[in-house]
Structure 1
Amino acid sequence: MSYQHIDSFFRHNDGVNSAAEAHGLATGMLCVNGQTPSSAWIKQLSGEEAQIGGDQARLLVSLFEETQASLESDDYDFEPFLPDEDDVSLSEQIIALSEWCQGFLFGFGALYQAGEQSDQAKEILRDIAEFTKLDPDAAGEEDEVAFMEVSEYLRTAVLLLRAEFGSKGRARIH
């Protein structure tokens, strides 16, 4: 599934800013409740009044289901949906990662009902909030390495949050 293809859909519609933000939203929702239906995610993306149909709906449902499967996989193959480094600059990758984190926090917050959180979960959520503020004016090998480290941290952090919250049944689905 091409990031650019899905991203162009979001760039031409109101609502979320990018495919990264949309994927973050789905991931946040699924971390809280792995049984969240794709329709709840699409409703969050487009609002009550918007209708998404045909090929666009199938594409979105496919992205959602792939995300759901990767979070549930015993192979730990989840990856944030970000543009490929061969397709965009490091600055654009950082912006997408920041948007992904914004979407994740919104999706997580949309379904999470307050309750016990481990210190580790609190720290992870604080870190993800900090990643929304990353400086996109990065260049050079050091910044590329730092971006890769943040991306890997996110991948692992999401799986830890999913393990902590995904099965506790504290979610509400709108």
Structure 2
Amino acid sequence: MPGWTEVAQAANRLALASSPAELHGSLCGWLAAGGADVADWPAQVMVDSALSTPVAGDALDRLRRASVEQLRDPDFGFQMLLPEDAAVSVRAMELFAWCRAFLGGFGLALGQATLSEEAQEALSDLANLGGAQLDEGEQDDDEEALAEIEEYLRMAVLLLHADCVLGSQQRQRLH
């Protein structure tokens, strides 16, 4: 998966007004709900047909391909694109932005699917985190809490993908 800076530079070249976390969140939400794996994904997930398609092999194209692979990985290799060398408070704010963007992409692609009770709970948790804010008094040293939230979100995203995409594929094979 391309790194934060590389995705930010590619987004700037296409004049996308989103952080790498927001772009990845939107893309993952779109894919987890069953949205098409297409080269022009920024136009799809941002609902703007005027947006350019990323060049094959550039950071945004590699981000799409890596995200698709990670969501399908049977060993649960999915990772969110968040800044690595930043303060905990900055990473937490980007995590919240990732969640908000995920919800947008997920809502665009979901259609009329019925979610399991577990998937509905995971989606609710994503919404709660998307609306979260840091308290002014919070310290930048709560690394462990952030890691636990990231791990929970990874599993929530994989659950939603399994419910919306893998579940329907299994049902289609049975018929």
TM-score class, shorter-chain normalisation, is 0.7 to 0.9
In 1, are the aligned partners of 2:35 and 2:109 still within 8 Å (CA)? no
Structure 1: tracts of 5 or more residues without a match: 170-174
Question: Retained in 2: the 8 A contact 1:67–1:78?
Answer: yes
Partner of 1:132: 130
- State the partner residue of 2:70: 70
- Structure with bigger RCO (C-alpha 8 Å, 6+ apart): 1
Percent of counterpart pairs with the same letter? 28
3-state secondary structure, aligned to 1:38? coil
Structure 2 CA distance for partners of 1:51 and 1:115, relative to 1, 3 Å: closer
Gaps of 5+ in 2: 170-175
118, 121, 138: which one pairs with 2:119? 121
> Letter of the aligned partner of 1:18 in structure 2?
S
Q: 1:116 to 1:165 in 2, by over 3 A?
A: same
Give the ranges of 4+ consecutive aligned residues of structure 1 lying more than 2 Å apart after TM superposition.
7-17, 50-55, 133-138
Aligned length: 164
Q: How does 1:1-174 map to 2 (within 5 A)?
A: 1-10=2-11, 14-33=15-34, 35-39=36-40, 41-43=41-43, 44-45=45-46, 47-52=48-53, 54=55, 58-84=58-84, 87-136=85-134, 137=136, 138-141=138-141, 143-167=142-166, 168=168
Report the CA distance between 1:16 and its aligned residue: 4.4
Shift in CA distance, 164/52, structure 1 to aligned 2, threshold 3 Å: closer
> Offset at 1:49?
1.3
TM-score normalized by structure 2? 0.82
**Structure 1 counterpart of 2:78, one-letter code:** F
